[in-house]
Amino acid sequence: MPYTLDLSGKVAVVTGGVRGVGLGISRAFLDAGAEVIAVARHAPDRLPSGLRFVPLDVRDAAAVRDFAEGLDRLDVVVNNAGGTPYLPAADGDPRTHAKIIELNLVAPLYVARAANAVMQRGDGGSIIMVGSVSGVRPSPGTAAYGAAKAGLDNLTRSLAVEWAPKVRVNALTLGMVRTERSHLHYGDEAGVAAVERTVPLGRLADPYDAGAACVFLASDLAGYVSGSALLVHGGGERPAFLDAANADRTNREGE
């Protein structure tokens, strides 16, 4: 059985695929030879050569269904659209928290359902959810987002069972990424550099790092991978207790 990362002849849809992490994912699929359709609510000022854009609000279940049914072929879907402002759970309008969950959990379900319906009638396919480390650790200041991403992990595992064997469903557990909006989360370059020093690999992810992982999950190389969450976080976060503890210092002083 041949195993390859060549996705020539495949059609991949990337939600939120025109900016930030989504654009990195779109570029990676283009480099792998796929035909790539990026969907988002608003068109970007420019697109990479070969990338097709279709306006779509992924929170609109009927529009999502019509879009998927209108495709001649669909092999891969990457549920990347999402995000959140900084909003502590006790603050703001409750409806804002509900909308965050809608975008980051309910909308991916709409997209996955529509994609699965098309894939089951064809040759099958791969659905990839872009999750976050916020879903596997406390997410203070973005609690609704973290809860939605935690739900996305469970959704991934459940759909992988329901839709097998024709459709594989996997997730990325994505860590911190350097994008055009990094300053909103980490501050100026000095702030970004300080945050990077907390990552074992010494840098924030590039959007293309997420794209490369998605290409792998969509490829023949991951043909027996389903219901999985791939950690893409540069080694994670150094536990805070290691810097707070004085055991090593005490031991050295006693020598």
- Residues noted as catalytic: 145
Q: Quick one: which H or E segment has residue 94?
A: helix 94-101
CA dihedral for 214, 126, 109, 164, sign (positive or negative) = negative
Q: Quick one: which H or E segment has residue 4?
A: none
d(CA 86, CA 100): 11
Helix (H, G, I), strand (E, B) or coil at 238: coil
Residues 6+ apart with CB under 8 A from 166: 119, 120, 123, 124, 125
Integer CA distances (angstroms), 188 to 87, 153, 177, 181, 194, in order: 20, 32, 14, 11, 10
Q: Which residues of 130-163 are buried (b: 16+ CB within 10 A; e: fewer)?
A: bbbbbbbeebeebbbbbbbbbbbbebbbebbeeb
Neighbours of 250 (CB within 10 A): 9
Binning the chain into helix, strand and coil, the percentages to the nearest 5 are 45, 15, 40
165 prior amide bond cis, ω within 30: yes
